[in-house]
Structure 1
Amino acid sequence: MIMRRRWKVALVAAGASATAIAVTGGAGAASGTVGRGGWVLVDHEGFDRPLKVDGAPWRLDPQGPHSPWNVGPFDDDGEAWTKISGPLFAEQLATLNVFRKRVAFGRDGWLTAEVAAVDKDHDGRPDSRPGLSTASLPGGQRAARISEPSWDAGVLIRPTRPLPPHYRVEMTLRGIDFGGKRNGTFNYNGKHNGYAPGACKTRYPWTFEGAIPGRTRCEYPDVTRENGFYYMTILDYANPAPHGNPGIHYRRKVIMDGYYADDDRWKNAGTCNPKTHKIYRTFDGTFNGVNALFVRGDKFREKSNNNISQEYYIKTACGNVSMDKPYGPNGQFKQHLTSAEIRPELLPEKEYRFAIERDATGYTLEMSGPFLHTGQTTLRVHHDFVEDGRPIWHYNQTPGEYDGRFDRSLKHVGPAGTYWTRHTWPKGSAYPDSFIIGDPHLNYYEGSAYVDDIRLYVPRDEK
Structure 2
Amino acid sequence: MRVSVRGALALTIPLILPVTLSATPAHAGAGPPAAGEGWRLVAAEPFNRHLDSAKAPWKRDDDGPSSPYDVDMYDNDGAYFDTVGGPAFRERLAEMKTYRQSFRFGKGGWLTAELAARDADGDGSPDRPPTLTSRNGVAHLEEPSHQAGVVIRSSRDLPARYRVEATLRGVDFGGRRDGAWDYPDGRINGYSPEGCKTNFPWASGGDFSRPECQWADVRTDSNGFYYMSIMDYRRVAPHNNVFIHAHRKVAMDGYNRYKYTGSGLLYCNPATGEYEPYSAGTGNGVNALFMTDDRRYATMPGTEYLMESECGYRKGGAIVSAVDMRPELLPGEPYTFAIERRDGAYTMEMSGVFAHVGRATFRYTRAFVQDGEPIWHYNQRPDEYDGRFDADWTWQGPGGTLTDRGTWPAGSAYPDRFMIGDPHMNFYEGSAQVDDIRLYVPE
Q: Which amino acid aligns with 2:207?
A: I
CA contact (8 A) 1:145 1:449 kept: yes
Q: Distance in 1 between matches of 2:162 and 2:91?
A: 44
| Paired position in structure 2 for 1:2 | 18
SS at structure 1 position matched to 2:65: coil
Does residue 1:218 correspond to 2:213, yes or no? yes
| Paired position in structure 1 for 2:6 | none
> Which protein has greater RCO, CA pairs closer than 8 Å, 6+ apart?
2
Q: Distance in 2 between matches of 1:87 and 1:174?
A: 45
In the TM superposition, residue 266 of structure 1 has moved relative to its aligned partner by: 4.2
Q: Distance in 2 between matches of 1:204 and 1:122?
A: 17
CA contact (8 A) 1:274 1:317 kept: yes
CA contact (8 A) 1:308 1:412 kept: no
CA contact (8 A) 2:110 2:155 kept: yes
| Paired position in structure 2 for 1:313 | 306
Does residue 1:164 correspond to 2:159, yes or no? yes
CA contact (8 A) 1:212 1:415 kept: no
SS at structure 1 position matched to 2:207: coil
Q: Distance in 1 between matches of 2:28 and 2:179?
A: 32
Matching of residues 35-74 of structure 1 within 5 Å:
38-74=38-74
Q: Distance in 1 between matches of 2:174 and 2:412?
A: 38
Q: 1:398 aligns with which of 370, 377, 381?
A: 381
Does residue 1:322 correspond to 2:315, yes or no? yes
| Paired position in structure 2 for 1:186 | 181
In the TM superposition, residue 2 of structure 1 has moved relative to its aligned partner by: 2.3
CA contact (8 A) 1:85 1:417 kept: no
Q: Distance in 2 between matches of 1:104 and 1:156?
A: 12
Provide Cα deviations, 1:193-218, integer angstroms capped at 9, x if missing partner.
00011222111110123x72441111
Q: Which amino acid aligns with 2:239?
A: H
Q: Distance in 2 between matches of 1:222 and 1:415?
A: 23
Provide Cα deviations, 1:240-270, integer angstroms capped at 9, x if missing partner.
1111111111100001000101154744521
Q: Distance in 2 between matches of 1:347 and 1:13?
A: 20
SS at structure 2 position matched to 1:173: strand
Does residue 1:408 correspond to 2:401, yes or no? no
Q: TM-score, length-normalised on structure 2?
A: 0.93
| Number of matched pairs | 425
Q: Distance in 2 between matches of 1:280 and 1:218?
A: 35
SS at structure 2 position matched to 1:272: strand
| Paired position in structure 1 for 2:249 | 253
Query: Are residues 101 and 274 of structure 1, via their aligned partners in 2, closer, same or farther at CA, if it must alter by over 3 Å?
Result: same
| Paired position in structure 2 for 1:139 | none
Q: Distance in 1 between matches of 2:75 and 2:56?
A: 24
Q: 1:378 aligns with which of 353, 361, 365?
A: 361
In the TM superposition, residue 87 of structure 1 has moved relative to its aligned partner by: 2.0
In the TM superposition, residue 8 of structure 1 has moved relative to its aligned partner by: 5.8
| Paired position in structure 2 for 1:431 | 414
SS at structure 2 position matched to 1:253: strand
Provide Cα deviations, 1:11-44, integer angstroms capped at 9, x if missing partner.
x5635xx7xxxxxxxxxxx72479x7x1110000
In the TM superposition, residue 129 of structure 1 has moved relative to its aligned partner by: 2.5
Q: Which amino acid aligns with 1:454?
A: I
CA contact (8 A) 1:399 1:429 kept: yes
In the TM superposition, residue 5 of structure 1 has moved relative to its aligned partner by: 2.8
Does residue 1:242 correspond to 2:203, yes or no? no
SS at structure 1 position matched to 2:242: helix
Aligned CA-pair RMSD: 1.7
CA contact (8 A) 2:173 2:225 kept: yes
Matching of residues 289-304 of structure 1 within 5 Å:
289-297=285-293, 299-303=294-298
Q: Distance in 2 between matches of 1:310 and 1:352?
A: 27
In the TM superposition, residue 89 of structure 1 has moved relative to its aligned partner by: 1.2
Q: Distance in 1 between matches of 2:75 and 2:302?
A: 14
In the TM superposition, residue 55 of structure 1 has moved relative to its aligned partner by: 2.0
Q: TM-score, length-normalised on structure 1?
A: 0.89
Query: Are residues 450 and 458 of structure 1, via their aligned partners in 2, closer, same or farther at CA, if it must alter by over 3 Å?
Result: same
Q: 1:200 aligns with which of 196, 203, 206?
A: 196
Query: Are residues 363 and 54 of structure 1, via their aligned partners in 2, closer, same or farther at CA, if it must alter by over 3 Å?
Result: same
Query: Are residues 52 and 268 of structure 1, via their aligned partners in 2, closer, same or farther at CA, if it must alter by over 3 Å?
Result: closer
CA contact (8 A) 2:22 2:367 kept: no
Structure 2 residue runs without a partner (length 5+)? 1-16
Query: Are residues 213 and 59 of structure 1, via their aligned partners in 2, closer, same or farther at CA, if it must alter by over 3 Å?
Result: closer
CA contact (8 A) 1:102 1:112 kept: yes
SS at structure 2 position matched to 1:192: coil
CA contact (8 A) 1:270 1:281 kept: yes
Which moved further from structure 2: 352-361 or 183-192?
Answer: 183-192
| Paired position in structure 1 for 2:266 | 270
Query: Are residues 13 and 116 of structure 1, via their aligned partners in 2, closer, same or farther at CA, if it must alter by over 3 Å?
Result: closer
| Paired position in structure 1 for 2:350 | 367
In the TM superposition, residue 56 of structure 1 has moved relative to its aligned partner by: 1.2
| Paired position in structure 2 for 1:442 | 425
Q: Which amino acid aligns with 2:29?
A: A
Q: Which amino acid aligns with 1:89?
A: F
Does residue 1:458 correspond to 2:441, yes or no? yes
Q: Distance in 1 between matches of 2:259 and 2:281?
A: 14
Does residue 1:104 correspond to 2:104, yes or no? yes
Q: Distance in 2 between matches of 1:153 and 1:47?
A: 23
